Chain A
Amino acid sequence: MSLDYVKFSPGFEKFMPKEYRDMVEHGPFGKKVSVSQMGSFKEILEEHPMCAGCAMTLFIRLSMISFPNPEDTITVGTAGCGRLAISQAAIPFVYGNYGDQNGVASGLSRGLRLRFGDKPKDVVVMVGDGGMADIGFSATLHSWFRKEKFTTIMLDNEVYGNTGGQESGMTNRGAVLKMAPLGKKFEKMDMVGMAKIAGCAYVATVVPNNPRRVETVIKKAVLIAREVGPAYIQAYTSCNIEYAIPTDKVMEDAKNVEGDRYQFSEYITDDAKQYLAERYGYKEFLPKPAAAVTKA
């Protein structure tokens, strides 16, 4: 959980496994890496037990490349497919109980701030749609209302994938799944709307077939969560098993869904825009003098 931590102890270098040496020498720690450089550095998540063609895994990989300071980042998860991959990454992962992730992250981020002061330690929650919108709903909403400063990412495959394909709150109305034998009887939950109402400083929806967009969204979210307020990203990460999407059609499906119910959207509060512009040089959020004054 710090740059020192991922270095070798002096004298032990040659005894470390090759994987480990590769991670220290060619990994992203302490460097600026980008999704456009994929293949030229060792990623913090490589091997994983996920299904072939899993869009969620691609999204998790892209997210981890995009973390601004991977050596100072802790991920928090709960039961679900996602954690099978997230737990394999070379950064700390917290797995507690069912749906507890935003509670754990609240205590964790406050505790880390007490210990490390201004030195940023990024806490990123990554959980599935069921883990967040169903079993973890209360902790999620309350952490947002409390303005807890960490990032929450929903890996939305619109189904309980890990337990074998049951309806979740994020499933679309009418979908026939286990536990919804007659089709789901109510609409997909509007977590994006709730995130805005609850006071998130940054809210975005993305699909994984635009890596550059995923990267900018993750970076903005994590940076905003450091000082401004809670950030929420909702990503469509299809389950090609439960929705029977052929492996070679997964990206095509993501594109279709993007056109249907997952258009890219981004909501940033004025505070967050100002912070990104002033602190991290985001030019697009620099105030436009004349227009801004008349608008205000």
Chain B
Amino acid sequence: MSESLETAVKTNPQGDPITSVAAPKPAAVQKDPHAEAKKQRVVTPEYMFFEAPRTREFITGSEAAKEAVRRSNVDLSIAYPITPQSETMQLIGVLYGEGYVKEYYRGEEEYGVMSAIAGASRAGVRCFTATAGPGTLRGLEPIASWPGHRLPAVAMFTCRVVNAPLAIQPDNIEISYLLNCGMIVFHAENQQDMFDFIMKGFIISEMNDVTLPVGVCCDGFFVTHARGYVHMQEKGIKLPPREAWRGAVPVLDAENPPARLSRDAPVQKSNFMAYNIHAVWQQEVWAAVERSRKYINKLMGGLCTAENVENADAVIVASGSAAAQSREAVRLCAEKNIKVGLIKIRSLRPFPTQELRQLCKNVKLIVIPEFNYVGWLAKDVATAIYGHSKAKIIAGPHVYGGQSMPVELIVDEVESGLTGKKSTNVPLSAIMGTDVDQAAVAHFMQNI
């Protein structure tokens, strides 16, 4: 009975803007809802990413994620309607109804969802899920164990506020928790990035010498709910399926690591061998993150991109939506004859350390705008270029808790960084490595 019920409710009654343009007519003949999906043909990743003709659509980030999954030969996807929600996972449900995704269900909450993704990835099938903000943190224990278990999968994080008091607004603080899990972490600027990074994420994740999960992050709302132009391949083609035997380790084999690590007697007891075995495994996980660089370079065109950086006095280093705002800031600066470049970071793990050292060698000023309070990107950038650049590093402007980032704030940081004259005395940024401006903080405190 449950089987027949399930078939009847597979298709999302709300439909989605792409597939539900034409209202369904009462058809006399029963049409196979999976007909289109069955006609999809497998193409190589190279053809899919570099050769297949693309057409342009004006869609939301959630729809871009859906269209990426449609073309990615995904076997299993698990959804949970966390607040704050994006449409992404319910749109994957539409794909399930249409037969593009073979298995799909609504999980009980993120801990259960992320655990089930771990189980399904062990079974050798291609998995996708998405969550946001508090959901990411709720699922973090299983997520943090995916890399150690060497489980390929793609998870999408549509970043939102996680701190108290309650808010559902964009804020990408959750990325800072994901950075040290041992997974590969991309940060999408827009809908096009979302589409590309998810598809390429599957291929990179399943490379033999990588065999790691990939997290594709974006700033929630700005990317998930807003529309942008996305160049997409036709719906009739899809990536090759996951071939579990290609993985670096047999994940279910109790005779081999990582499964072996839980059965070997030394690991169960606290002694030197136990520490050593775990230490070696952590090294291997992070070495696998390093080995993914070549695939990111090949498939995504680099861990970062540089625009107008040559001969620039200052560069803005940004990821995600902050990169979009920064590009506009670069244009405004050009009007003021300030030579500013933009480095957009696509891959946060692995981090483009060598690239930044090269690009930032001669600049005087680096401005790092971020959609969070703590400035996790600024810390990574400063660490990467320490000793390789004499540039002054301004961590900021920072906006958080749902604030948007006016382009003028970035321009002001660039101008004041170069000239020393600041048009606002609200401490939206900090100069890294120097004392906090006590006067500015005092002024701020008195005015709240």
Residues of chain A within 8 A (CB-CB) of B142 are 96-97, 100, 103
Given A104-B116, A111-B125, does the pair A96, B252 have CB atoms closer than 8 Å?
Answer: no
Answer whether residue A32 sits at the interface, using C-beta atoms and an 8 A cutoff: no
Q: Mark B139-157, 1 if CB is under 8 A from A, else 0.
A: 0011001000100000000
Q: A92-B253, A97-B145 are in contact. Are A108 and B109 (CB under 8 A)?
A: no
Q: Scoring B residues 108 to 143 as 1 if CB is less than 8 Å from chain A, else 0, what string do you get?
A: 110111111111111111010000000000000110
Contact B125 A104 (CB under 8 A): no
Instruction: Find out whether the CB atom of A107 lies under 8 angstroms from the CB atom of B118.
Output: yes
Interface residues of B in 76-95 (CB under 8 A from A): 76, 78
**A257 at the binding interface (Cβ < 8 Å):** no
For residue B274, CB closer than 8 A to chain A, the reply is no
Q: Which residues of B contact A94 (CB under 8 A)?
A: 119, 122, 252, 259
Chain B interface residue number, banded: 35 or more
A250 beta carbon closer than 8 Å to chain B: no
Among residues 129 to 169 in chain A, which have CB atoms less than 8 Å away from a CB atom of chain B? 138-139, 142, 146-147
Q: Given A97-B145, A100-B111, A115 and B124 touching (CB < 8 A)? A: yes
Q: B102 at the A/B interface (Cβ < 8 Å)?
A: yes
Q: Which residue of B lies closest to A100 (CB)?
A: B115
Residues of B within 8 A of A267 (CB): none
Q: What's the least CB distance linking A118 to chain B, in Å?
A: 15
B262 at the interface (CB under 8 A from A): yes
A138 to B113, CA, bound (A): 12
B252 touches A1 (CB 8 A): yes
- With both chains docked as a complex, state the minimum distance between the C-beta of B181 and any C-beta of chain A, in angstroms: 13
**B254 in the interface, Cβ–Cβ < 8 Å?**
yes
Q: CB distance A107 to B252 under 8 Å?
A: no
Which of A55-63, A82-90, A177-185, A205-213 forms part of the interface with chain B? A82-90
Name B283-340 residues within 8 Å CB distance of A. Answer: none
A74 partner residues in chain B, CB cutoff 8 A = 252
Interface: A93 (CB within 8 A): yes
Are B252's CB and A92's CB within 8 A? yes
Q: Contact: A114 with B113, CB < 8 Å?
A: no
B2 at interface, CB cutoff 8 A: yes
B209 surroundings in chain A (CB, below 8 A): none
Alpha-carbon separation in the docked complex, A83 to B268 (Å): 10
Would you give the 0/1 interface string for B257-279, flagging 1 where the beta carbon is closer than 8 Å to chain A? 00100110100100000000000
Q: Does B105 contact A (CB under 8 A)?
A: yes
Task: Report A's interface with B, CB cutoff 8 A.
Answer: 1, 49, 74, 76, 83-84, 87-100, 102-115, 138-139, 142, 146-147
Task: Give me the 6 closest cross-chain CB pairs, A-B, nearest first.
Answer: A111-B123, A103-B115, A107-B119, A107-B116, A107-B120, A108-B119
